[in-house]
Each structure stands twice: as structure tokens, then as C-alpha cells.
Structure 1
């Protein structure tokens, strides 16, 4: 499939316009918009297609090719160097499950598993950053990747992930609107009511 057709652009389209087209499509088809929606599976498949098309275009323009660094794992369109990780320590089995969940696109499960981790080491921040990236929460992903790099500066996988995010211009990307509950709404009304009463009582 032609990645340019997927994004609705042409080979002559500038990098900035390619990024703009990608972000518009990401806002439209992001799975968070289709929670409890019968079209959720279609939206997820479309989002995956959009991510792959965008990465293919940007890799080609930067002189990279898919699979150029053999044995890479791919998370949500970003490719990270390094072979399958073998873990030791208290979180060994859990981290392996998290990577498997991410590869399968099960971000909810990956996040739940990470919340059960015994402590937060560099790998924890890297995996959480990957979950954020897949959700389109680029600012959070950047912070988590940065923390991972600071905790383990010699890890090429972490640094590659952060560099790829920086080069893709991911900052300021799509962040889904948080859903407000009725309790939040009632609390806001109560606060407004208190402010109005105080203001009126003071003769405003």
C-alpha cells in the first residue's frame, strides 16, 4: 500500500505538511475516540496503518529503511534497536509480559502490568514511555524516555527511542480529552456556587 495515499499526501509534500496530515488523521482515528464503540477494531487497524505509513515516509526521507538494523523490535511505528530483552530481578517476568502486550497492541494490559511493578527503574520508564507513545501522548512519552536515559545513559534502545521521538516532531501531538465524570461536574458546580455566594455576600 502506498504510504502517501494512506496519509493523503504526495511525494512532493513537505515534511511539515506530512506531519500535519499525520496528526490530523491520528486525532480522527485514535482508538481512545472509539472506546465502547463497535467501530473500535476498525479504528485501531486504521491507526496502525497510519502509523506505519508515516514511519515509512519519514524513514525513507531520512535515508533509513525498515529492518536496516536487524533484530529490531517495533512498537507503534517506532523502531528500537536491540534484540529481545532477557530480564533478571523482581520484575523480569512482568516486563516480558509488558513487551508482549505492547507488541500485540494491548496498551491497557501493558499499563496495568506496569502499575504492579516492584519499583520504577529505567526499563519501567522506557516501557511506560512506549505505552504513552502508542497512545499519542508524546509529551508524556518524551518525559518517560528522558527519565529512562538519565537512569541508564548507556542503553542504546532508550536513547534511540528518545531520538526518534525528537526527530519525528512528536512534541505537541495528539492528547485525548479526558472524560469527566458526574462527580467532577458536581464538584465544579459546587465550587462555582461557593464563589458566587462569597462574591455576592461581599457586595461585588
Structure 2
């Protein structure tokens, strides 16, 4: 029997998406398998954690589908066509055409979807500061948008703000603890930091030897 995802998270069916996010984060921290003291407890926590994650994803996906239909705030056929064309241009790597289309669309419509497409287009052109601005605008309306967070972290890396990028990757793991991209990037940061520390340690040892009479 399939359990109601809201009940899994301890919520009623009329809970807002913010309530869902808050409940998921609290439960994910409480039942994370890394907290286990032994293998038996790890299996138990893993089972609960999986149920929590599945419930969260089910609600989130349903919410996003609803948003795509009702909350894009694009009410004319022409505006919908422009949005479709902007995405199509991006998929074909016709970035300038995508930006021109989005600028026409933005004259009468602004929402998270449009901001996100702007961010992707500017990132593709290498205009990382503009992309960062639009990723931030996206996240102001959809703070749970992991794709926007990933894009934001990537842009921070591109402009050399490694520590800021690390913070964003860690934030992604609060929403999706198993996000492979965030985990891999943080792992790469850790490897580079370890290598730098070893090199500095070796350099210090050689310097001390030379200084010894």
C-alpha cells in the first residue's frame, strides 16, 4: 500500500511547499544514515531516510508540474510561444536568439522560469556575473530549485569564488543529500586542499633543513 507522502513527512495535505521543505530538512537530519552507530542501525535509518526522500520528491515534483501549468503567469498564446522558443534556442545553443527572445518576453512577464532561462543563457555566453544575478532572482522565488543552485555554484567557481561555491554546494546537499554533482565538486575541493597542504608541508620541511647548520 502506497503511503501518503504528506503523512510520511508528518504533514496534512494542505501543507505549503515551504512547510514540506522545512519538514523534509528536519527529518533528513534526524534520520540520516551517517548518524548510525552500527550496521543494524544504519539499515534502519537508511530505510526511513529513503521513505522521507521519496515522499519529498513526490510532493516537489507534483508542485513543480502544477507550477508549470498554473504559475508561469504567461497567459497569452504568443507569450507561451516565446517561452517555448527561448528554451528551444538554448537547447540548440543559439544563445543570442534565446536572449533576444527572453528580453521580448520580459517586457510583460517576469517569473522564476524566465529568470532561470536568462541565467542559463548568460552562463553559456560566459557572462557569469549576469548569470549569478538571474540565478539569485530565480532562487528568491524558488529557494528549493536545485538546478539554479548548481548553476550558481558553477558560476562562482568560474569567477574564482571557490569558498562561496563550496557554501552553495553544501546548501544543495541540505536539499538533496545524495546530489552527485555537489558531492563530486566538494570532494574535488577537498582533494585539492589536501594536495596544497602536503606541498606546503614539504616545502616547509626542506626550508627548515637548509636553515639547519
Coarse TM-score class (shorter-chain normalised): 0.3 to 0.5
**Greater Cα radius of gyration, structure 1 or 2:** 2
**Greater fraction of residues in helix:** 2
User: When the two structures are superposed, what TM-score results if normalisation uses the length of structure 2?
Assistant: 0.36
User: When the two structures are superposed, what TM-score results if normalisation uses the length of structure 1?
Assistant: 0.38
